Amino acid sequence: MAVIAGFTVVPICRAAESSSARVPVLLELFTSEGCSSCPPADRLLEILDEKQPVAGADLIVLSEHVDYWNSLGWKDPFSSPQYSARQQDYTNRYNLGGVYTPQLVVDGRYGFVGSDGKEASAAIQKAIRERKIPIAISNLARNGNQVTARIELPAGENLKGASGILYVALADNRQESHVARGQMAATRCHMSRSPES
């Protein structure tokens, strides 16, 4: 899950964590099964998720499959125009150099080629030093396609003048498909962790 204030990503701090706990950082990889340059970025995102290699960071990763590659002979079953629009919005707001795949966006602010591990590490380091609005989530329950939770701001937190919009992403930890046509034909097996549409 992630929280977005305005369009600056502000990941969740759980109530039980102390101030010395790892800082949540959201990584959004804009990718596509139809993109031949995306597999290295997909692998990097998987490694960042599994190994959590950046000290002080709690990496929250999402694969967001764009739909603008779907005309090349393979329709990405995970693609959504919502992800394409989200990527375009980041580009418009933060001048990220246009939309492309693979593009990794860290905390909604830093965008770069998704397979660049050094750039990812540098952006994550910047993100953990930035002030985040902590929130506490409790009583989380899911009933079919409905999710309920209690969300609170910590007492004593100085949020004068702060405002935000809360977005919640339900992510499917692993999905797999075999690409049979298009730029990535061969025997590529794609695994992703995508928000559920």
CA atoms of 109 and 106, how far apart (whole Å): 6
**In the predicted structure, residue 18 carries a pLDDT above the cut 60:** no
Q: Among 11-25, 45-59, 111-125, whose mean pLDDT is lowest?
A: 11-25
- Domain 4-195 fold is Glutaredoxin (3.40.30)
Q: What tokens does 167 get?
A: 């977005």
Residue 79's φ and ψ, nearest 5 degrees, are -75, 155
Confidence of residue 176 (pLDDT cuts 50, 70, 90): low
User: Which pLDDT belongs to residue 196?
Assistant: 54
CA atoms of 86 and 179, how far apart (whole Å): 24
Mean pLDDT of 87-103: 90
Mean pLDDT highest for which of 47-61, 126-140, 142-156, 158-172?
47-61
Q: Among 30-34, 66-70, 112-116, 145-149, whose mean pLDDT is lowest?
A: 145-149
Q: Which residue has the higher pLDDT, 184 or 82?
A: 82
Q: Which residue has the higher pLDDT, 7 or 22?
A: 22
Q: Among 66-70, 94-98, 136-140, whose mean pLDDT is lowest?
A: 94-98
Beta strand pairing status for 189-195 and 110-113? Answer: unpaired
**In the predicted structure, residue 120 carries a pLDDT above the cut 70:** yes
Mean pLDDT of 33-43: 92
Name the DSSP class of 2.
-
Mean pLDDT of 94-122: 93
This prediction's pTM: 0.77
- The set of long-range contacts for 133-142, using a CB threshold of 8 Å and a minimum separation of 24, is 133/3, 133/5, 133/10, 133/157, 133/159, 133/162, 133/164, 134/13, 135/3, 135/12, 135/13, 136/13, 136/14, 136/15, 137/1, 137/12, 137/14, 137/15, 138/15, 142/170
